[in-house]
Amino acid sequence: MRYQEVRKGRFLHRPNRFVAQVELNGKVETVHVKNTGRCRELLPEGAEVYLEHADHPGRRTQWDLIAVKKGKRLINMDSQIPNRVVEEWIDAGHLFPDKTKVQREYSYGESRIDLYVETPEKRILIEVKGVTLEESGRVLFPDAPSQRAIKHMKELQRAVKEGYEAYLFFVVQMKGVEYLIPNVETHPEFARTLLESKEAGVRILAYDCEVTKDSIFLRQEIPVVETVSLLYDMAEPVADWYEAHKRDLPWRRKPEPYGVWVSEIMLQQTRVEAVKRYYERFMEELPSVASLAKAEEDTLLKLWEGLGYYNRVRNMQTAARTIMEDHGGSFPSSYEEIRKLKGIGTYTAGAISAFAYGIAKPAVDGNVLRVITRYLAMEEDIGNPGVKKKIEQLLEDVIPKGRASAFGQGLIEIGALVCLPVGTPKCADCPLQEQCLGRKRDLLDRLPLKKKEKKRRVEEKTVFLFREEDRVAIQKREGKGLLAGLYEFPNALGHLTQEEALEYCKARGLMPVRIRRLPEARHIFSHVEWEMIGYEVLVDDLEKTNTEGFLFVNRKHIAKEYAIPSAFDAYTRYAGIK
């Protein structure tokens, strides 16, 4: 798009939103402002502006203000021009090279949409928005609350449901900006509706422009952060902070995919300090995918003993066998293939992708949910899977190029060391303290939001330590359900009295020599809680009369070869098992 007869002037002041006073050729002229927005940051007194002569006989103002110099950047501020710029660009064969029709001001619903395009197979609606508000290399829209923009986005959402292809097209009327974000502080509803529109299938595009004093043309696409902004601003500081403050952990020293995988599965539901020794022992015994794939189940469970959630390691072995069979023993190197492996969800797939391969994928765990919901002051239930998915999508858009590992681990590390879940967060140590909306709005004590979980089911149990000298009775649990396939001490439902405990022994062919009560204990699983009492029972001839099929194993062998889950930790010491 080109202008005719353009002159340079000096902005003086703006009596109202339609006109301005400009010094032109040493004379003060009243000129028409072709942008009814506030534009306060664009038009300070003395700003260099550009005017086009208006060839309209009889009009009171003979000049139109079309552009302004801000620093070294020339910004076109003609709000009537973005539609023409996009139309010319489409006419030149861009976006829809097979178009058969382009129409301006198309009536749809209760709105007039800027452009309607037809191709042999599609009906397309395009709403165009001009962007002139720039701050520190990024642009924001809108510069004032815009209910009209909200209305248009709602219409586009409806159009998608009715079979149209719909676009919201931001024309950034300047060159060389980094990205576009919704202006949350000015109009938070716009930011929410923009994200809703994308999720509804409206396509969001933004292009910057090559701007001269007498022309403007679309230049190149720039990223759009469709949600509450700030996320782009946090990316580099998080990565920088991580590289300066990260803990020395064994799986970080050589971040290859197998080691990252093992560590991330272990870290689920387990403290970092506790995982260190398990990780080193596991990697020493099973240093590769191949060794994990062929390990005996008892060996596998023994290596995992104490970590709990034993299905995790069983799933790992299934996945390892898949890697051996389907990938020739090489760990898959794409997020999509990693995600297909047994027991790997979006978090673990993202962690392996980012930490081992540098792929720009997010790894959103509880730490990250806490950091992001506080940072953005998101008052949404993090127990809702849709909230986690939304945050994953948002973070994927802002991962800094070449720094996926530092960014992803940085968010986790901030959550683990600084943005703490209980007590007072260490905001003074946080690289995000200045931008954090949760801190600014005094919401840290109530974020993240999570609905109370259903009350756990309580099960009462009586645990028996049947002993004969150095041998202890154990039994293997069923192959399905809670703690499947692990070994345990014999136990019964309910809290048995001593007389009932004696009857339990006799019914199983075990004749007690002595019986004593052991302390009560409790173990909490995700959805069930065990409340336990125990009895130590000394017996003669364990194997000869027992009818239950218990195993009678030297306690030293139990410690080395049999996986007893941590649920029984309160009783293992009475059995002499370390």
List the chain pLDDT tens, one digit each, 578 residues. Answer: 899 999 999 999 999 989 999 999 999 999 999 988 778 889 999 999 999 998 777 788 999 999 999 999 999 999 999 999 999 999 999 999 999 999 999 999 989 999 999 999 999 999 999 999 998 788 989 988 889 999 999 999 999 999 999 999 999 999 999 888 888 778 878 888 898 898 899 999 999 999 999 999 999 999 887 665 578 789 999 999 999 999 999 999 999 999 999 999 999 988 999 999 999 999 999 999 999 999 999 999 999 988 888 889 999 999 999 999 999 999 999 999 999 999 999 999 999 999 999 999 999 999 999 999 999 888 889 988 888 988 998 898 789 989 999 999 999 999 999 999 877 899 999 999 988 989 988 999 989 998 876 788 999 999 999 988 888 999 998 878 888 888 999 999 999 999 999 999 888 888 888 999 999 999 988 789 999 999 999 987 765 656 677 888 998 888 888 888 889 988 988 888 86
Coil, strand, or helix at residue 254? coil
Coil, strand, or helix at residue 503? helix
134 Cβ contact partners less than 8 Å away, ≥ 6 residues apart: 41, 70, 73, 75, 140, 174, 177
Compute the distance between CA of residue 250 and CA of residue 355 in angstroms, rounded to an integer. Answer: 14
3-state SS, one letter per residue, for 4-29: CCEEEEEEEEEEECCEEEEEECCEEE
Q: DSSP letters along 345-378, please?
A: -HHHHHHHHHHHH--S-----HHHHHHHHHHTT-
Is the separation of the CB atoms in 124 and 103 below 8 Å? Answer: no
Compute the distance between CA of residue 240 and CA of residue 235 in angstroms, rounded to an integer. Answer: 9
Taking phi over 0 as left and psi of -120 to 50 as alpha, with beta for the rest, 126 belongs to beta
Q: Is position 155 annotated as part of the catalytic site?
A: no
- Residue of 52, 134, 226, 264 with catalytic role: 264
The neighbouring-strand residues paired with 28 are 23
Crossing angle of helices 297-304/272-285, nearest 10°? 150
- Distances 502 to 507, 511, 542, 551 between C-alpha atoms, Å: 9, 9, 15, 20
Closest C-alpha to 116, from 94, 142, 97, 90: 90
Is the separation of the CB atoms in 520 and 530 below 8 Å? Answer: no
Is the separation of the CB atoms in 163 and 121 below 8 Å? Answer: no
- Residue 398 pLDDT: 85
Compute the distance between CA of residue 51 and CA of residue 66 in angstroms, rounded to an integer. Answer: 6
Q: What share of the chain is helix, strand, coil (3-state, %, to 5)?
A: 35, 25, 40
**DSSP structure class, residue 224:** B
282: which 2 tokens?
């596991």
396: which 2 tokens?
């994927």
Cis status of the peptide bond prior to 142, with omega within 30 of 0 = yes
Coil, strand, or helix at residue 469? coil
Compute the distance between CA of residue 475 and CA of residue 10 in angstroms, rounded to an integer. Answer: 90
> 63-70 and 512-524 as β-strands: parallel, antiparallel, unpaired?
unpaired
Q: What is the pTM of this model?
A: 0.60
Count of beta carbons in the 10 Å neighbourhood of residue 391: 23
- Residue 523 pLDDT: 92
